[in-house]
Amino acid sequence: MKEYKYRINGSLYTVKVGDIEDNVAKVEVNGMPYKVELEKSQKPVTVIQKPRPSAAPRTDTGAKVISRPQAAAAGYQVKAPLPGVVMSIPVKVGDTVKASDTVLILEAMKMENAIHAGQDGRVAAINVNVGDSVLDGAVLITLE
């Protein structure tokens, strides 16, 4: 039996709740036994399922789309400062950019991070696509 103490209008009540069988609970209030009929639940119980984490994007062959750091190439390389997913690329090959221009938006830890060119130049190559997962240090864009 579980025992509870209640104060109602200044009076102290000791309530002991016993077994519950077929919606009838055996209750004792200050030593006086009672049978309490519980109301039957009319609505079904809702089961809440945890959402599954989204899967990493995959290619047609089923391999995960992850850009890995590449070997050094000619020109200045704009690299990923942290792992994430490429959200947008506001430049295209041939565009002239300043050092402070945003060349890529990278989502990491549910935050969008603006990746800047880092130096003046012309976009020679874009090494990633929108939706790609990239690792820390991956070459995103090459400038001439």
pLDDT tens, position by position, 66-118: 655 555 557 899 999 999 999 999 999 999 999 999 999 999 888 999 999 99
Strand order in the sheet with 66-67: 66-67, 133-134, 84-88, 102-108, 111-116
Q: Which two tokens stand for residue 73?
A: 């190439």
Backbone angles phi, psi at 92, to 5 degrees: -135, 165
Backbone angles phi, psi at 73, to 5 degrees: -125, 170
Strand partners for 11? 8
Helix (H) or strand (E) segment spanning residue 16: strand 11-21
If DSSP codes are grouped into helix, strand and coil, which group holds residue 142?
A: strand
The answer on pLDDT for 126 being more than 80 is yes
Report how far residue 110's alpha carbon sits from residue 126's, in angstroms, rounded to the nearest whole number: 23
Backbone torsion region of residue 107, taken as left when φ is above 0, otherwise alpha when ψ lies between -120 and 50, otherwise beta: beta
Q: Residue 43: pLDDT band by 50, 70, 90 thresholds?
A: low
The answer on pLDDT for 53 being more than 80 is no
Tokens 């200050």 sit at which residue?
30
Half-sphere exposure of 86 (CA within 13 A, CB side): 26
pTM of the predicted protein model: 0.51
Residue 62 pLDDT: 74
Query: Above pLDDT 90, what percent of the chain?
Result: 58
Averaged pLDDT score across all residues of the chain: 85
